[in-house]
Structure 1
């Protein structure tokens, strides 16, 4: 009898060890990838700095599609435009979900954050509301907000050019809160705006910790006691601060809309208020819809514009060429407008090239996930696989973009599409860039973002000369290309430059245009009369 028990125990131990050691191994049918270690898989190889460069190197070694084994999970990395088209675009139902992000979505966000929400009924409700609020027709309606924020940006840059990054961040943040809530930011240093950035930075910090990753790669750790997993307690504490903060913004906007203090069709919250009356969803649910939009829009356009200004420093010939086009079409006595854009192909090409050359979503933003098993080119892509869009590698592919490291807007001459139209072209090799994602997770704010970039770039180069500062020896102090701050939204490391009006006449126009629109603002910088009528 003892021998039977001994044999049974030995078999159980052997089987358990085999199961444990099989964790992290790459099944034969999966896409290829770097060698794995038992239990860890490729976790020990994941880069802490410049991950886009390591993912690019793996793409060179393993081809258009490869896999990384991350503990109990698998990540499939897509490195060619046609692979993204075949899978993420054409099979949106299969590739349109998100990974199970326990720390970021369950604990921090109460399951409500659209950015990280898995596919399902709740996601469909939120996505539908966002599309109603940000579709192409609504984007046109928000143009008065863009005009206001753009005019303040021009004025701020003329008055304090050393505050370039802060002015761009105020511009981007004020535009998105105008679109979502109907209020704006007068200055960058307003305490509530700083809290927006602080909360989002902490949210991203918590998601980037090893503890958060381990809870995703080894789900058994989610039941660990708090003293073994302090990240879980931090996540809960963050939610306890974040939810009331988002609720305050939402409830203030909701009250103004219901009391008709602002037109119901003047902001995204109007759409949410209408839907809440019909669907009866909770205020926390609504607060996360509006709050998530503010998070997504506060730093993206500003980061892209900061990258564009850097390009003008590093590639002054491009700056002169674009200015020549603007001067020929616009002249010297008025601002460029959206109506001028069809006549400004160099400006439109600069928008596209900025997104390609310095993508803010350098690794495709938040990854996708599969909802069922799929097969592609003989490979098995399993259900619940994490899908990463390797944006940097695609944008720097010399077969797709000759001399990809150079900022060359001319590569887009003859391309009259906007970002949304380009993303839906049948021939993916003709798509301009991947900066807004793909498939069912394509950025819903693309129409607003495109217009903001067009107006900002056209007016920046109409109004100002952008030049590098000089060192003590009179040499140009140029920023280092491809030197990024590595966060969820990527932008160049801080640099210095000189921004000066191109003429006294243009400086006077900048001042007059700001004075004209600022008459519609009170002392706190808020609209006296909302410029969008419902």
Structure 2
């Protein structure tokens, strides 16, 4: 072949290659035929330019109103399918959980900032299933009943804290939920509202959520080539690495403390005992064990405390709800004792308040994203393999057809609902009370524990205290918090606000103080830890073994 003939063929081949490359590139960002509808796209970036940096839940709700309960967003090279109806969540995430239980890749949030170890965003597979099985052993419905002594004691300390320093109510609530979690997971309680581990946990989780949800973190998932950038110029990598080290120090430190106690026979039965047994056979690292237990700690501490914080805000804005709830408590319980779990069936309006709190103030405001492992269809729409699938919790909770006047805190909307949170999550989707706990195989296993903590928290708070608005020091007028002002990212909480929390009577104050005094008899006076485990604890069958090392 002559040089001339080679050049004759080379030119069209080169031109064809360029055209093919350009055509392929220009397809990036386009909405493929058959996908659910959505906002118009631009080449290369798709809908990225329309993604809000603040209050994304409001934009996602607006798109649902415009494009329907199932719509798609094209984010660079990735497809996101947003489910904004209870039925769509049921049909896909529940009924087809076999192909919707995965999580999307999170290079910054999971690989860099969590060492690929964080349970809530862990990819679906053997490792996740192993951990899920261990978690089920301590959080299933039969086990959950046995932890009431833990919840009862920590709640009594919460009440005393509100008597002594009511302005610190958020910290008291956080200590309550944190200490309950540390007992089940690590075998130790947290008696100090100023324990640095509490502050570290909430600080780390808040900053991790902001990082994982940031535009720069999502960008490297949508354009994976950016993951190959040198570390020095890669967005957020150094920050993510530093955050991981801080968080790992907390989680692995707590794990190692529990592990040493279990190995020398001094530790109490707890979730870490299961982890230790698994570590001996599966040979995973202490870092992995720390994140297994730490992931449960953050999940168990955050949702309950944030929901109770939202409930107190609701009582400021809707005092008539507070009065109605207190009337029920006074009728059923009376002034001489605290409500207990035995009052659960008789305090139906309190249960309605609990359900309304979860609906009205969804802490997981857009859910934790799922990912499809196979091509699928839903009605006339195609959902490609690898799509990110989002349960639009805010839009579902605030659907006026589902919940009239959705921003009004109205517990009576659940007056005919006698289900538990778990029963509701697995029942008729149109009647499901909330979507905070996820769906399908990723349904949060702590739902049984959370229900009991919220019931005791709400019932005893209203039994013992009145919650009212503080007065402006200048104008003398009551200060009403903005119920739509949230802080956070993947998880949210009301922006810090002030409240006046006062005991309802001296007699009730005495009941609360006496209850805590009696509870302290169960604790070592120096360490403030349990002298012995309560009778019937689910963990009591997992006795510590001394291990030769």
TM-score range, shorter chain: over 0.9
Q: How does 1:97-136 map to 2 (within 5 A)?
A: 97-136=102-141
Distance 1:511 1:251 in 2: 35
Task: Tell me what 1:290 maps to.
Answer: 293
**2:312 pairs with 1:309:** yes
- Shifted more, 189-198 versus 55-64: the winner is 189-198
Q: How does 1:325-364 map to 2 (within 5 A)?
A: 325-364=328-367
Task: Tell me what 2:544 maps to.
Answer: none
Q: How does 1:66-81 map to 2 (within 5 A)?
A: 66-81=71-86
Q: How does 1:48-447 map to 2 (within 5 A)?
A: 48-264=53-269, 267-364=270-367, 366-425=368-427, 427-447=428-448
Residue 230 of structure 1 and its aligned partner are, at CA, apart by: 4.3
- Residues 522 and 528 in structure 1, CA contact (< 8 A), matched pair in contact too: no
Distance 2:518 2:449 in 1: 23
Residue 164 of structure 1 and its aligned partner are, at CA, apart by: 1.2
Distance 1:397 1:428 in 2: 14
Task: Tell me what 2:460 maps to.
Answer: 459
Distance 1:375 1:522 in 2: 61
> 5+ unaligned residues in a row in structure 2: which ranges?
542-549
Distance 2:209 2:482 in 1: 25
Distance 2:470 2:199 in 1: 29
Any idea what SS the aligned residue of 1:96 has? coil
Distance 2:161 2:31 in 1: 55
Q: Tell me the number of residue pairs that the alignment of Structure 1 and Structure 2 aligns.
A: 530
- Residues 262 and 530 in structure 1, CA contact (< 8 A), matched pair in contact too: no
Residue 255 of structure 1 and its aligned partner are, at CA, apart by: 2.1
Distance 2:250 2:493 in 1: 26
Provide, for residues 291-337 of structure 1, a one-character-per-residue CA deviation record: whole Å limited to 9, x for no partner.
11111122211110011111111111110011000001100000000
Distance 2:422 2:530 in 1: 31
- Shifted more, 88-97 versus 134-143: the winner is 134-143
Provide, for residues 338-390 of structure 1, a one-character-per-residue CA deviation record: whole Å limited to 9, x for no partner.
001100000011010100111111111x2011010100111110111001100
Structure 1 residues 432 and 178: alpha-carbon distance in aligned structure 2, compared to 1, 3 A threshold: same
Any idea what SS the aligned residue of 2:157 has? helix
**2:485 pairs with 1:483:** yes
Structure 1 residues 446 and 66: alpha-carbon distance in aligned structure 2, compared to 1, 3 A threshold: same
Distance 2:9 2:215 in 1: 43
Task: Tell me what 1:502 maps to.
Answer: 504
Task: Tell me what 1:24 maps to.
Answer: 29
Residue 445 of structure 1 and its aligned partner are, at CA, apart by: 0.6
> 5+ unaligned residues in a row in structure 1: which ranges?
none
Quote the RMSD (CA, aligned, Å).
Answer: 1.6
- Residues 211 and 229 in structure 1, CA contact (< 8 A), matched pair in contact too: no
Distance 1:354 1:205 in 2: 24
Structure 1 residues 285 and 227: alpha-carbon distance in aligned structure 2, compared to 1, 3 A threshold: closer
Residue 113 of structure 1 and its aligned partner are, at CA, apart by: 1.5
Provide, for residues 56-115 of structure 1, a one-character-per-residue CA deviation record: whole Å limited to 9, x for no partner.
000010001000001100110000000111100000011111001111222222222211
Distance 2:86 2:314 in 1: 25
